[in-house]
Structure formats: C-alpha cells, structure tokens
C-alpha cells in the first residue's frame, strides 16, 4: 500500500451482506466476502488469471486504506440493530476523524448497502463524511427471492416470468439433498434460504415496512451500483410451468436489476446468458465448436448459473465488476488530488512507432500467452484495439507491438 499524491490515506470500508462476513472465520473455512480470489468472468473464452482478491486489488491503488466492518454474528437481524447500521455509522465517524477529515468510501455487498443507507440516514451530518458508496447487488427495493421463500408462493401466483423463474430455481435447490450440495449447482444457496426466514429476511421482502421506512442514499453521496444481469432462456413446459418459450432476466437470482439500481447515480453490470434446455444448449455448443457462431454468443448451461460471475454471492469475484469497483474508487481519490490545483497530464508509452522500447523502459518477467482476435474489436474506434481473452485482463496497461499479435503489459505502472 502507498499514500496518494497528497501523502494522504483514504479510508475504504468493506461491509458484507446477510449470512456473509468481511473477515475469515476463526477456522479459516469461510472466507471474507471481499477476500476471495477474483476468478470469475462472463466470458466463455479463456480463463481469469488474477491472483488478487478485491481487497488485494484495491490495495494497489495509491491512497487506499482498507478496513473491514463485520457483523456476521448479527447478520440475521435487520439493519436497525445496534450492532449493524448504528455501529457502522460509528465506524464511519471514527475513520473520518482519525484520517484527518478524509471522506470515507464504502464498498458494500447486498444487505451491507442497506446498512450503509441506515447509517447515513441516522445522522444528517454523516453524509458529509462519505464521498462514494459502491454496492454489489444491494436489494434497495427488496428481494423477490425473499418474498417467495417467505410467503411460500407458487410459480403461478407470482405474476411475472422473472418471479416464476426465481421460484422454480429456489424450489429445485430446496429439493437437493445435503450430500449432493457439495457438487450441486445450488451450493451456497441454502444459506440464503435459511436467512430469508429470519428477521432480516422478512424485512427484505419487496415493499416490507422496514424497507419503506429506510432512508434513501443522500443526494451528495455518489452511489455506484454493480450488479449481476443473468439472462435465462427457457422452453414451454419447464418444470410444468405454463409459460410460453422465451427468456427472462432475474438479475443475480437473489436481487433483480431494478432493485440493485434503485437510488444509484451510476452503475456497471456483468451479463451472463444461460439456456435451460440441455438439448438446445448442446446444439448451440456444437455450432460454436464448428466456428459458425462465437462461443461468447452461445448461452452457457443453466446448471452453471449459480457458480457463475452473475450470481449474487459471486459478484465480488467477477473480474468485470471488481475492475469497475477499482475504477470508481480510483476516480474518487483522483478527484481529491485535482482539488489541490490544475492537473498536469503526461502521456507515456513504452513502445516507439518502430516497435522498440522507449528510453528509460526495460522488460522484466516471463512472457505470458494472450489470445487476441485477428481483427479489430467490433466496438473499437481504431484498428489497433483487439478483443482478447481474460488472461490479459489482470494487467493495468498494455501496449501493442507492431504486427498486432503481441502486447507489452505492465502489472503495476504506478
């Protein structure tokens, strides 16, 4: 870790969600919500090659001083409990004072975002002590999944395709045996289902009294919402449900998109496409194997959805969202540097126009394989921007060498 350009440290507080924790369990079996390795992506080409966790990645940003707020023992209670929202408010006050009046940045998963709303609404002056809140899948208007579990509603009474699909996912997972959970795609979901029957779970139901009474985020605080955008394609007769063949967007399965976005000032998403029909998925995969269709345009099997980058509990392990969180926090800190006076911008490139190293640059480390497309990216504005697999995504900056198939990348250019 290092201080920013002013020689200052900015407190960044990590707040977990219900059933979660911000620190490792005493036995080490359960890891903190923000300290698992970033190992997931919506891309179906290549693999993520990032050795850092979200906390580890943010520690490379100059000026970031990370702190964890853990309320795991009390996470079954609502955010008004003294050990959750009010305690988080006290922590924000303390960090603001001890850092020399540096505004605090909050990174919150799920119910942690609601605890942050409570803490900021509890004391009007506290909003001036927080600059940015980054949320991962916060159910600002409630969770359909919590509503379905709490009311034992059947698929036909939900009133929407999204609700019906979520209900069927919960029902299918509820039928799995304890033994099969070790390898079942629903691994981890029973914790959520159990939590929905508690005090916090009841409060998280859509339009609950507790949610309606909860203060909104203050207008002077930037709220950057990060969310999972799963799309599921299904066919008629799925589990006997009377729906026409089509698709639906259940968000991250636990929290829908509109709930995650409510009250935000900016947002980023990770999108994942799934196909429930095994037969159709096999056909699509075969077409992709024959190179008639890109693999990334082919929906993944539904069985992989709860282990994918878009699932509620995996959002902090998504390379797309972890990078978005890092950029949001970097932007906040850079804005503080700009308050010191005019910014002098210097453009640097490690490569000359002939492909040789610029003076003062050296190459170190072993070469790694990066698989880039042979043509320019379809969203590029110049012909030297390429589509690459996630193996290059863990680096901070890359320059293309002549020929377009080789990149010189810097791991930490700061």
Look up the domain containing 400 and give its range.
346-414
pLDDT score recorded for residue 5: 84
- Which residues are CB-neighbours of 242 under 8 A, at least 6 positions away? 156
pLDDT score recorded for residue 31: 81
DSSP sequence for 166-205: HHHHHHHHHTS-TGGGGTSTTTTHHHHHHHHTSHHHHHTB
Given 337, 368, 403, the domain boundary residue is 337
pLDDT score recorded for residue 294: 56
Residue 108 lies in a domain: yes
pTM for the model: 0.73
Task: Say if residue 18 is in the same domain as residue 132.
Answer: yes
Residue 2 lies in a domain: no
Residue 5 lies in a domain: no
The CATH number linked to 218 is 3.40.50.1820
**String of b and e for 74-85 (b: at least 16 CB within 10 Å)?**
bbbbbbbbeebb
Task: Say if residue 200 is in the same domain as residue 59.
Answer: yes
Task: Say if residue 170 is in the same domain as residue 311.
Answer: yes
Q: Are 394 and 50 in contact, with CB atoms under 8 Å apart?
A: yes
CA of residue 270 relative to chain centroid, distance: 8
Residue 241 lies in a domain: yes
d(CA 9, CA 2): 8
d(CA 181, CA 187): 5
Residue 3 lies in a domain: no
pLDDT score recorded for residue 414: 56
Given 282, 317, 337, the domain boundary residue is 337
pLDDT score recorded for residue 155: 41
pLDDT score recorded for residue 277: 58
Task: Say if residue 141 is in the same domain as residue 257.
Answer: yes
Average pLDDT along the chain, 414 residues, taken 10 residues at a time: 87 92 74 90 78 92 94 89 97 97 97 97 95 97 68 46 61 42 46 60 82 94 96 61 64 90 95 72 56 61 80 93 95 84 70 80 70 62 65 65 69 61
pLDDT score recorded for residue 180: 33
Residue 93 lies in a domain: yes
Return the half-sphere exposure (C-beta side, CA atoms, 13 A cut-off) of residue 131. Answer: 19
Residue 1 lies in a domain: no
Q: How deeply is 133 buried, as exposed, middle or buried, from its count of CB atoms within 10 A (0-12, 13-18, 19+)?
A: buried
- Which residues are CB-neighbours of 223 under 8 A, at least 6 positions away? 132, 133, 135, 217, 263, 264, 265, 266
Number of structural domains found in the chain: 2
Task: Say if residue 242 is in the same domain as residue 219.
Answer: yes
Task: Say if residue 333 is in the same domain as residue 397.
Answer: no
Task: Say if residue 51 is in the same domain as residue 168.
Answer: yes
Task: Say if residue 320 is in the same domain as residue 283.
Answer: yes
pLDDT score recorded for residue 301: 73
Residue 52 lies in a domain: yes
Task: Say if residue 406 is in the same domain as residue 297.
Answer: no
Report CA Rg, the chain: 23
Task: Say if residue 35 is in the same domain as residue 120.
Answer: yes
Task: Say if residue 62 is in the same domain as residue 200.
Answer: yes
Task: Say if residue 316 is in the same domain as residue 365.
Answer: no
pLDDT score recorded for residue 178: 33
């Amino acid at each position: 870790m290092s201080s920013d350009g002013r020689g200052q440290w900015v407190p960044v507080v990590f707040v977990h969600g219900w059933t979660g924790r911000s620190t490792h369990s005493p036995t080490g079996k359960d890891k903190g919500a923000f300290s698992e390795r970033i190992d997931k992506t919506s891309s179906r080409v290549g693999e993520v090659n990032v050795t850092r966790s979200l906390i580890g990645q943010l520690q490379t940003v100059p000026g970031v001083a990370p702190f964890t707020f853990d309320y795991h023992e009390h996470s079954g209670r609502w955010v008004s409990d003294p050990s959750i929202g009010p305690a988080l408010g006290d922590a924000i006050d303390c960090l603001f004072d001890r850092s020399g009046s540096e505004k605090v940045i909050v990174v919150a998963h799920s119910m942690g975002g609601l605890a942050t709303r409570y803490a900021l609404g509890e004391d009007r002056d506290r909003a001036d002590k927080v600059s940015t809140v980054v949320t991962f899948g916060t159910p600002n208007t409630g969770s359909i999944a919590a509503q379905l579990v709490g009311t034992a509603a059947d698929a036909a009474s939900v009133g929407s395709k999204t609700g019906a699909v979520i209900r069927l996912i919960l029902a299918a997972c509820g039928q799995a045996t304890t033994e099969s959970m070790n390898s079942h795609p629903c691994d981890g979901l029973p914790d959520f289902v159990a939590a929905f029957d508690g005090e916090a779970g009841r409060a998280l139901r859509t339009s609950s009294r507790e949610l309606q009474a909860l203060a909104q985020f203050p207008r002077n605080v930037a709220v950057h919402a990060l969310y999972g955008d799963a799309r599921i394609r299904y066919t008629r007769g799925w589990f006997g449900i009377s729906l026409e063949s089509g698709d639906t967007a259940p968000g991250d399965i636990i929290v829908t998109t509109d709930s995650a976005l409510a009250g935000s000032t900016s947002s980023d998403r990770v999108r994942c496409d799934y196909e429930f029909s095994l037969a159709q998925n096999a056909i699509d995969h075969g077409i992709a194997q024959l190179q008639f269709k890109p693999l990334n345009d082919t929906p993944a099997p539904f069985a992989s959805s709860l282990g994918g980058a878009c699932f509620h509990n995996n959002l902090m392990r998504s390379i797309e969202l972890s990078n978005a969180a890092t950029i949001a926090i970097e932007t906040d800190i850079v804005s503080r540097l700009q308050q010191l006076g005019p910014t002098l911008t210097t453009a640097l490139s490690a490569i000359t126009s002939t492909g040789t190293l610029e003076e003062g640059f050296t190459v170190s480390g072993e070469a790694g394989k990066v698989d880039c497309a042979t043509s320019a990216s379809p969203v590029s504005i110049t012909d030297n921007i390429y589509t690459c697999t996630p193996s290059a995504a863990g680096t901070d900056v890359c320059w293309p060498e002549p020929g377009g198939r080789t990149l010189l990348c810097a791991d930490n250019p700061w």
